[in-house]
Chains A and B, each alone.
Chain A
Amino acid sequence: MTEALVVVKDLKKHFPVQRSLVAKLLTGTKDQWVRAVDGVDFVIHNQETLGLVGESGCGKTTLGRTLVGLYEPTAGSVTFAGQDVFQLKKTNPVAFYRQVQMVFQNPYASLNPRKTVREILSQPLKVRDRYNPKELEEAIQRLLEQVGLNKYHMDRYPHQFSGGQRQRVSIARALAMQPSFIVCDEPVSALDVSVQAQILNLLQDLQVRHQLTYLFISHDLSVVRYLCDRVAVMYLGKIVELGNTEEVFNHPVHPYTEALLSSMPQIKRDPNQKKILLTGSVPSPLDPPPGCSFHPRCIAKVGKICELESPELIACSPGHFAACHRGQA
Chain B
Amino acid sequence: MPDKKEDFIAIFKAESEDHLTKLDRGIVELEKNPDNLDLVNELNREAHTLKGAARVFGYYEIQEIAHKIEDIFDKVAKKKLAFNSLVANRVLKGIDVNRAILRQITQKDKIDIDISQICRELEECIYIQEDGENRKEKSEISYRLQRRRQSSEDVDPQARHTNIEEYIRVPLSRVNKLLNLVGELIINKMSSSTKINQAKRISGLTKGVQRRISELGERIKKEPSCRNSDIVKLLGQCDVEIERLREASFVLYDNVSFESFRVDPVIDELQAKIKEIRMLPLSTILEGFPRMIRDIALQQGKEINLEISGEDTELDKKVLEIIKVPLIHILRNCVDHGIETPKERERLGKAAYGTVNISASYETGNVIISIEDDGRGMDIEDIKQTALRKHLLSEEELRDMTEREILNVVFMNGYSTSPIITDISGRGIGLDIVRREIENLKGQVILDTQKNRGTRFTLILPLTIAIIQVLLVKSRGMLFAFPITSISEGLRLQMSKICTIEGRMAIQVGEHTVPMVRLSEVLKLPEAEADSDVDNNGRDLKEKVSVVIAFSLEKRVGFIVDEIIGEEEVFIKNLGEHLGKVNNVSGVSILGRGEIVIILDVADLIANSALSHPAVITRGLPHREKKGKKRILIVEDTLSTRELEKNILETQGYLVDTAVDGLDALNRVTQVSYDLIIADIQMPRMDGFEFCRTIKKNEKYKDIPIVIVTALENDDDKRKGIEVGAAAYIIKSAFDQSNLLDTVDRLIG
A complexed with B: no
